[in-house]
Structures are given as structure tokens and as C-alpha cells.
Structure 1
Amino acid sequence: MSTSVERVVNTARYPLAEPDQWAPLVRRVQADLRESGCSVLRDFIRPAVRDTLGREGAAVAPLAHYDVETVNVYNIAVDSELPEGHPGRKTFERGNAFVARDRIPPASVIQQLYSSEPFQRFVARCFGLPRVFELADPLSGLCLNVLEPGREHPWHFDTNEFTVSMLTQEPESGGVFEYCPGIRSADAENFDDVRSVLEGRGEPLVRRLPLRPGDLQLFKGRYSLHRVSAVEGTRARHSAIFAYSERPGVIGSVARTRQLFGRVLPVHLEAGTVRVDQLLD
């Protein structure tokens, strides 16, 4: 492991440089993922580095693309022709913002982690994969999510089968991560359960997870409906999203990239979209 990454990771609890010591930790993470689709590694970042983590995020947060949009849970066009009662007909206001990877300094803590081979091997082991690849997408491989006070990230599914993220700045209140583990599968959309959650009738399906800066979250967001509740107070919620794929060369779609970052690059126009299933979004 590079010296820089060793300085930021709490190696006493998470010995990334010593794979032969991973087994108990990996078993625990995999059990969490099987049971609930989510696992949190508390204090993954050294306490002495957390202030740096927060400052770096706050420094680039003004570079986020911000746009209030009307969206649905599947991130498809809200005027799509869908049958009566389909959960995709229910719309929400999305007011969060994203800082693209190309605007995050290479020396920052989250860039060091994202590109670290030991970190990638550890993530792959936790998800039971032979390896993971950085996205070839220069914008969405790594990004910082910025959620300003009064805003929320409404219910949605992820495009990727799994997500790795880390809170870098905690709001004064609100901004709680809520999710419905395994509410759908690669073979079944389960529209009835999704609709019940969106209409406020699915409380037994919803779990709430407190997160702190420096905690690493591993999440299967492709099949778990999730959101971040409205941020309250005067401080924004910042979260780094480490996007990996099971295959190399993955580039985001033109529509999704423009939605998240307000721009596309030639690589997006030239590439096709790689999907892992035939689900709606």
C-alpha cells in the first residue's frame, strides 16, 4: 500500500496492506450484504485525517453541478408512457449536486483511496468479486455528492449493482440514509412494494442508517430502493461516491451524465452503455 494511503486509512482496524488478515472482516461485511445489502465500516479513515477529509470536500463543493429537477424513482423521463398505478409515474424534486472527478484534486484523500490497488482489492473481496475496475468515465468514476440544507436526494435505484461511499461532512441534522434492502431483484421489479414505499405505506420495508464522516459504506444500491432525507440546519451534507465496475471500460450514458454533471465529454458521445441486467432504469 502506498505511504499516502497508509496515512489516511485506520490500518489498526482495517489492515489493507495485509490481505491474509482480511478474512474475519470480509466475512462480516459479506454477511451484512447478504442480510441487508449494506455494510458500514466505522472509522475507516484515521481520526487525525477526518478534518482534512472535510476541508477537501468543502473546498470543491462550490464546483458541483446543481440543478433542481423533477425525477422519478427509475431516473427515466417523467413523461414516459407508463400504466396507471406504476411507481414510475410518481415524481419528486431532486435538488442535490455532484462534483465530477476531474474537478477533485489528485492528491485529495478520496482520490488516493479510489485509485489505491489494495483498497480496490479489499472492496472486490467484500463484494465476492475477483476484481473491480475504476470506471473509464472521467466524470462519474469518483464524485462528491453535495446536499444543501432544505434539499433531499429522493427515492431511487443506482445504475451500478454496488456502491462504495463515504460521508465527508455531516449536516447539523437530517440527511439520514434510508433504504429498502432487496426490494427488487435482477429478475423482478416488485412494483407493488416500490409503490407502497413511495406512497408512505411501506414503513416496515424501510431501514435508517446513521453515518459519520470517515465511515466507509458498501451498498448494493441496484436492487435496494434508497434516499437521503432532507438536510436540516445550515451545513450541507457531503458524501464521496467511489464508483467501480465488474468489467473495465464502463462509461456513463449521455443522458445520465448530463443529468448529474451538466455536461458530457467526447468519450460519452462515443461510448455505448454497459448494463448488468434488463431492469427499467
Structure 2
Amino acid sequence: MNIVDTARYPVDEPGNDAWENLVSRARTELRELGCCVLPGFIRPGSWEALRREGAGVAPLAYYDVEETNVYNIAFDADLPADHPGRIIMQRGNAFVPRDRIPTDSVIHRLYTDPSFVRFVAACFELPELHELADPLSGLVLNVVRPGMEHPWHFDTNEFTVSMLTQEPEEGGVFEYCPNIRSAGAENFDAVRSVLTDADRSPVRALTLRPGDLQLFKGRYALHRVSAVRGATSRHSAIFAYSERPGVIGSVARTRQLFGRVLPAHLDAERNAVRVDQLLD
């Protein structure tokens, strides 16, 4: 674990006092705010490698600027006139899939490190986590070019682990509304108010720096990355884990994000099981 600042974050020493205190802090912030940021998680000596490796694969991202809505559902869905799903946004971010990210890169080494996975599971108060079995979306680099944004949305997973690898000159702010919905309540009125800027009181903004580790509960938190300005793209690694092994993304969502699907996605679609009944 020589890429992590283990003096500050002893993730490879589970059970000792410093590890327990770190996990306790993360759990508290996740319970209260739905988000925890560990600044400078990556050693300063690896920051340039982190940026360079991300910049190297960023041109491989699949770009398809498209109109979308907060639930990533069809616009012709049978929705009431005032439903937030009828608010159209432009999705301008792009993803580099796992099969285009070198296995010796900083983010890949971190994603697959057993000590790191065990630490992340503990922070989310889970007995264990598994790498996503999806050959494309298990580990991705999210790329937001200047003039583009990643609009308001909810995550498919209940939790997300990410790390900024290159910050833009301006903009590209991570904004989120913790617990704006629940597994049993969509809370459409509150979601619509945020989307239309009628009420931004639930919105929190984070200043992230390269090498910061972000733990986030994104299934029930509305969130976005605001428009990037200047000449530099915003790059962030997204580490996808699941509570159960063998999880693979849907065919429709995979094709939307990467422009292609693999046999593994077609096979998984036939055996898909929903974990909730939310719109997305």
C-alpha cells in the first residue's frame, strides 16, 4: 500500500486504534452527511502519476452528449406534467471503462487492494465488499471536458467510492443533497425544487483535490458535477463495489455509458434482481 499516505490513513492495519478512529470518523460523517472526504489519501509522491495516468487514458472515453433526466428513464414515460422526470438536462460527461485502464495504474492497484477494500467496507458498516464483476463499469475514469457537466442524478449503487485525479481550472464542483429520497419514498417535490433552482437549501458543495478519497451514499442523494470551465478537463476515478459477488450492470445502462455491451451483460440481464422499486 505504498501509494496511500498510511501515516495519516493506516488502512493496512485493521483493528489498531488509529484504524478504528478513522473508520469511526468516516461512519459518523456518512450517517450524518451521506459523504466523507479523506483529503490527501494518496501520497504526494504519487499525485503526478495519478494525474498522468488518467490523462493518458482520457482520450479513450466514450462520448455521447445526450439529453437525459434525473432518473435516466425514457422521456416518453407515462409521467405527470409536473414530474421531475420531465425536466431535460444535457449529460456531457464520459467514461473510460475498466478494460481500457492499465492494471499497473495507481487507481487499479488501489481498487483491487484487499486492505483498501476491507477499509471501505468497514467505513460503510458492511461485513465485506466485492469488486464489481462487470468488465466495463467495475473501475472507470469519469471525464468532464470544458463546457460540459455531469447533471443531477442518482447512483445505481447505494454507495460510491471515488477520487479526483485531475482538477479543472474552474467549475466542476461536486454538489449533492443527502438523503433527499429513501428506498420507500421518491420525494418528487423536493427533487423538482432542486432541479429548477426553486429551493437549493438541501444542496451541499464540496471542494475536492487530486488524491482525496470520497466515500458517498449516492443511491438516495441527488448529486451532480457542475459545468467545467477553462482549458483543463475534470478527471475522477470511480471504484465500484457490491455487497454481493457477481454484480454486472444492465444492458441499457451499459450501452448508454460505454457505447457497447459484452456477453457478460447479456447473460446477467436474464437473471437481474431489483433491490428496490425506485423509478431508476
Report the TM-score range of the alignment, normalised by the length of the smaller protein: over 0.9
Instruction: Give 3-state SS (helix, strand or coil) of 1:40's partner.
Output: strand
Tell me what 2:9 maps to.
Answer: 14
TM-score (norm 2): 0.97
Q: For residues 169-195 of structure 1, give each alpha carbon's deviation from its aligned partner in whole angstroms, at most 9, with x where no partner exists.
A: 000010000000000001110001000
The residue type paired with residue 5 of structure 2 is: N
* Cα distance between partner residues in 2 of 1:203 and 1:91: 18
The residue type paired with residue 115 of structure 2 is: P
| 1:269 matches 2:266 | yes
Q: For 1:1-281, list aligned pairs within 5 A.
A: 6-21=1-16, 22-272=19-269, 273-281=272-280
The residue type paired with residue 275 of structure 2 is: V
Give the Å deviation of 1:275.
3.1
* Cα distance between partner residues in 1 of 2:22 and 2:179: 22
% same residue: 71
Give the Å deviation of 1:69.
0.7
The residue type paired with residue 104 of structure 1 is: I
The residue type paired with residue 68 of structure 1 is: V
Give the Å deviation of 1:276.
2.2
- 1:52 to 1:274, Cα distance in 2 relative to 1, 3 A: farther
Q: For residues 219-260 of structure 1, give each alpha carbon's deviation from its aligned partner in whole angstroms, at most 9, with x where no partner exists.
A: 000000000000000000000000001111111000000000
Q: Structure 2: give runs of 5+ residues left out of the alignment.
A: none
Give the Å deviation of 1:84.
1.4
The residue type paired with residue 148 of structure 2 is: R
Q: Structure 1: give runs of 5+ residues left out of the alignment.
A: 1-5
Cα contact 1:65–1:262 (8 A) shared by 2: yes
* Cα distance between partner residues in 2 of 1:264 and 1:233: 33
Task: Calculate the aligned-residue CA RMSD, in Å.
Answer: 0.7
Q: For residues 7-60 of structure 1, give each alpha carbon's deviation from its aligned partner in whole angstroms, at most 9, with x where no partner exists.
A: 100010111221023111111111111111000001000001000000000000
* Cα distance between partner residues in 2 of 1:161 and 1:275: 13
Cα contact 1:150–1:232 (8 A) shared by 2: yes
Cα contact 1:65–1:260 (8 A) shared by 2: yes
Give the Å deviation of 1:79.
1.9
* Cα distance between partner residues in 1 of 2:275 and 2:213: 24
Give the Å deviation of 1:150.
0.3
Large movers: runs of 4+ above 3 Å: none
* Cα distance between partner residues in 1 of 2:275 and 2:32: 22
TM-score (norm 1): 0.97
- Residues paired across the two proteins, number: 276
Instruction: Give 3-state SS (helix, strand or coil) of 1:189's partner.
Output: coil
The residue type paired with residue 145 of structure 2 is: E
Instruction: Give 3-state SS (helix, strand or coil) of 1:65's partner.
Output: coil
Instruction: Give 3-state SS (helix, strand or coil) of 1:19's partner.
Output: coil
Cα contact 1:70–1:78 (8 A) shared by 2: no
The residue type paired with residue 169 of structure 2 is: E
